[in-house]
């Protein structure tokens, strides 16, 4: 969800997602597909990717949902932050995996709110 939302706010930027606790090739959950369809995004072709050390080292900026994700990646790329930290709200974003449709909506809406802040910050830094 975060990748699609962030691409909406920063078109033309190289944005991709990868997980710290996943395997390559899994489909997006039914609830993720449904809540993103509500906002006009099609996740039906999305497939998961496990982050690799090479991916992390080659990234200019890594944004994570939680402090745990950040701690996993930080030793490889010091330009790693939680989304809430980069947005300066310091919120964590709960992974809705296997949760209700409402948990996915809350996560989606929080991502929209925080990633809009992050996108504006990045746009201002690049001016």
Residues linked to residue 82 through DSSP beta bridges, in sequence order? 64
> Given this model, what pLDDT does residue 68 score?
93
> Given this model, what pLDDT does residue 21 score?
86
CATH architecture group of domain 2-125: 3-Layer(aba) Sandwich (3.40)
> Given this model, what pLDDT does residue 117 score?
98
Residue pair 91/84 in contact by the 8 Å Cβ criterion: yes
Residues (pLDDT < 50) of the chain are none
Report the C-alpha gap between 19 and 51 in whole angstroms: 6
Residue pair 115/6 in contact by the 8 Å Cβ criterion: yes
The ranges assigned to domains in the chain are 2-125
Q: How far apart are the first and last CA of the chain?
A: 27
> Given this model, what pLDDT does residue 86 score?
97
């Amino acid at each position: 969800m975060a990748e699609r939302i962030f691409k909406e706010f920063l078109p033309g930027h190289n944005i991709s997602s990868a997980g710290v606790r996943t395997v390559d090739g899994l489909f997006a959950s039914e609830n993720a597909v449904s809540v993103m369809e509500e906002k006009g995004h099609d996740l039906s072709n999305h497939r998961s990717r496990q982050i690799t050390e090479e991916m992390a080292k080659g990234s200019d900026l890594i944004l994570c949902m939680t402090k745990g994700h950040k701690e996993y990646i930080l030793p490889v790329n010091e330009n790693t932050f939680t989304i809430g930290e980069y947005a300066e709200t310091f919120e964590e974003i709960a992974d809705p995996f296997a949760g209700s449709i409402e948990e996915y909506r809350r996560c989606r809406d929080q991502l929209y709110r925080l990633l809009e802040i992050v996108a504006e910050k990045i746009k201002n830094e690049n001016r």
